């Protein structure tokens, strides 16, 4: 089997599938992709993820790491998160105090539907307005969707959102990785056959994959190719002519999830727990974590590392960053802090190559060509969604052997 891309998707797929296949992984850049540490002024920033997994030590990623005996340490958020509403930090259960008796009754019904029904194409924002119409709930959900998925509630259908709520109840909330993202991707890479070359072509004959060609024109033969480079790039190097116009149309309409991360150094702690602070009163910033509460080695001695996230809400990047920085000022109040680095994720290097609700199936129309990674997530958010997709791919391949 050939895997294109050694991001977390390619590496997790390689770890799980090596039990059944001899695997070559091709990587054009640095192992880990958007899931690795980015050392900066003594801090361990990251190329993407917040050194965290949506369902912590009990989610789908942890399931693959356990199955493949990959060493890792994740500290689950306790609490999973708190919510900054009207200038005060609240636990989830305290948010009920913002609701009238009728509102509490309605939210129980909404939560029941989220947990036990499938949902449909109705956007979450519209669903909440039809069923609840509560300003605080709208703010909380907007910030949650933004922090967790870089998407607005009006852009995610309930069929994609309800399973996330279900999975939060089932598998729990976020956990932080000791050592940061690289602690996982470096361990996954150990002992793997990773070839540091760019793949420029996926060779297809009679609607079946035959192998790949690297940038130095070497051909590698195989009848199973797993691509971790996103659906757009995969189809581009495979050749659009092999895909139906409907499939290509879906790719044209594909929406990436875009965002901005602000990395902050502070000597004064801003958060007294190891979960997420969802910020509901701010213009742009939707949440933050303080990873040094779990692993102080992610910052120089005496410092905390705080990372904020915001969905990119317009193409005016300067304006978006400025609004984010204003929010940071508001959140920190009179505490001292230093902005280390502002990172923008878009244009082929986004938060997710497919925003939740736009994901593709692992199986493509070409025999032997499969997708993993963040344009083929299943059921939940971010890397745990990637991992769920890989677990399903494993089942698909196992049943076809
Ligand atoms: C700001 C931000 C915050 C996030 N926060 C979290 C979080 O807290 N928790 C979480 O779980 N997720 C989070 N995510 C999402 C997560 O980081 C990504 O979903 C995940 O890293 C994507 O992994 P991937 O393997 O799909 O893609 P990538 O990491 O992009 O890997 C693809 C790899 O393929 C290689 N490649 C591309 N083309 C070729 C080619 N032609 N030949 C060979 N190699 C090729 C690339 O170099 C790359 O290494 C966040 C993302 C961002 C940007």
State the Cα–Cα distance between residues 289 and 369, nearest whole angstrom.
Answer: 37
CA of 395 to the centre of ligand 1 (A): 23
pLDDT tens-digit readout, 236-251: 999 999 999 999 999 9
CA of 372 to the centre of ligand 1 (A): 11
178 touches 73 (CB < 8 A): yes
Identify the sign of the CA torsion 352, 354, 356, 359: negative
| Helix 60-67 with 382-400: angle, nearest 10 deg | 50
CA of 64 to the centre of ligand 1 (A): 17
pLDDT tens-digit readout, 66-89: 999 999 999 999 999 999 999 999
- The tokens of 285 are what? 């910033």
Ligand 1: residue whose CA is nearest its atom 49: 33
Relative to the CA of 259, which ligand 1 atom is closest? Answer: 1
**Diameter of the chain measured on Cα atoms:** 68
Domain ranges in the chain are 2-73+179-254+354-400, 81-171, 259-345
CA of 7 to the centre of ligand 1 (A): 5
Relative to the CA of 289, which ligand 1 atom is closest? Answer: 8
115: nearest Cα among 174, 158, 156, 155: 158
User: What is the separation, in whole angstroms, between the first and last Cα of the chain?
Assistant: 13
Fold of 81-171: Polyamine Oxidase; Chain A, domain 2 (3.90.660)
pLDDT recorded at residue 51: 98
Beta strand pairing status for 338-345 and 194-195?
A: unpaired
Q: SS3 of 198, please?
A: coil
CATH no. for 2-73+179-254+354-400: 3.50.50.60
Ligand 1 pocket at CB < 6 A: 4-10, 26-29, 33-35, 48-50, 52-54, 198-199, 228-229, 233, 259, 261, 309, 345, 351-352, 373-374, 382-383, 386
pLDDT recorded at residue 401: 61
The helix or strand, by DSSP H or E, that contains position 107, with its residue range, turns out to be: helix 101-116
pLDDT recorded at residue 399: 83
State the Cα–Cα distance between residues 36 and 76, nearest whole angstrom.
Answer: 19
CA of 349 to the centre of ligand 1 (A): 8
The helix or strand, by DSSP H or E, that contains position 138, with its residue range, turns out to be: helix 135-149
Per-residue 3-state assignment (H helix, E strand, C coil) for 260-314: EEEEEEECCCCCCCCCEEEECCCCCCCEEEEHHHCCHHHCCCCCEEEEEEEECCC
pLDDT recorded at residue 400: 76
Ligand 1: residue whose CA is nearest its atom 11: 383
The low-confidence residues of the chain, meaning pLDDT below 70, are 401
State the Cα–Cα distance between residues 249 and 390, nearest whole angstrom.
Answer: 25
Per DSSP, the residues of 23-49 read -EEE-SS-TBTTSSEEEETTEEEESSS
CA of 383 to the centre of ligand 1 (A): 9
Comparing 81-171 with 259-345, is the CATH topology the same? Answer: yes
- pTM here? 0.98
190 touches 98 (CB < 8 A): no
The DSSP letter of residue 359 is P
Relative to the CA of 372, which ligand 1 atom is closest? Answer: 26
pLDDT recorded at residue 104: 95
CA of 117 to the centre of ligand 1 (A): 31
Per DSSP, the residues of 49-60 read S-SEETTGGGSH
CB-based contacts of 220: which residues, under 8 Å, 6+ apart? Answer: 2, 24, 211, 212, 213, 214
State the Cα–Cα distance between residues 69 and 65, nearest whole angstrom.
Answer: 6
- The tokens of 172 are what? 């729990």
State the Cα–Cα distance between residues 30 and 104, nearest whole angstrom.
Answer: 49
What Å distances lie between residue 113 and 148, 161, 214, 287, 379, CA to CA?
21, 11, 49, 26, 16
Fold of 259-345: Polyamine Oxidase; Chain A, domain 2 (3.90.660)
């Amino acid at each position: 089997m050939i895997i294109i891309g050694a991001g977390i998707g390619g590496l997790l797929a390689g770890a799980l599938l090596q039990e059944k296949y001899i695997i070559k992984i091709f990587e054009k850049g640095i192992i880990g992709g958007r899931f690795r540490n980015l050392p900066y002024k003594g801090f361990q920033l990251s190329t993407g993820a917040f050194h965290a997994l949506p369902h912590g030590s009990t989610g789908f990623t942890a399931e693959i790491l356990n199955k493949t005996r990959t060493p890792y340490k994740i500290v689950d958020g306790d609490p999973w998160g708190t919510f900054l509403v009207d200038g005060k930090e609240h636990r989830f259960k305290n948010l009920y105090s913002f609701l009238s008796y009728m509102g509490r009754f309605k939210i129980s019904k909404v939560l029941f539907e989220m947990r036990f029904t499938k949902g449909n194409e109705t956007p979450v924002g519209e669903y909440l307005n039809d069923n609840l119409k509560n300003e605080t709930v709208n703010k909380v959900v907007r910030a949650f969707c933004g922090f967790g998925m870089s998407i607005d509630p009006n852009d995610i259908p309930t069929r994609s959102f309800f399973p996330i709520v279900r999975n939060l109840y089932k598998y729990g909330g976020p956990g932080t990785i000791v050592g940061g993202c690289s602690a996982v991707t470096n361990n996954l890479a150990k002992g793997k056959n990773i070839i540091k070359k760019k793949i420029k072509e996926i060779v297809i004959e009679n609607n079946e994959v035959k192998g790949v060609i690297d940038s130095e024109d070497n051909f590698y033969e195989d009848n199973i190719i797993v691509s971790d480079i996103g659906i757009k790039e995969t189809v581009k190097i495979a050749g659009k002519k092999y895909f139906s116009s409907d499939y290509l149309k879906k790719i044209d309409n594909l929406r990436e999830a875009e965002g901005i991360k602000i990395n902050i150094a502070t000597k004064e702690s801003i958060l007294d727990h190891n979960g997420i602070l969802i910020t509901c009163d701010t213009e742009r910033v939707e949440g933050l974590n303080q990873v040094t509460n779990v692993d102080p080695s992610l910052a120089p001695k005496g410092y905390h590392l705080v990372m904020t996230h915001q969905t990119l809400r317009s193409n005016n990047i300067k304006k978006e960053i400025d609004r984010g920085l204003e929010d940071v000022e508001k959140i920190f109040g009179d505490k001292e802090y230093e902005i280390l680095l502002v990172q923008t994720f878009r244009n082929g290097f986004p938060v997710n190559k497919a925003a939740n609700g736009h994901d593709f199936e692992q199986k493509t129309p070409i025999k032997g060509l499969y997708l993993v990674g963040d344009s083929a997530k299943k059921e939940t958010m971010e890397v745990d969604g990637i991992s769920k997709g890989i677990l399903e791919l494993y089942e698909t391949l196992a049943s076809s052997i």
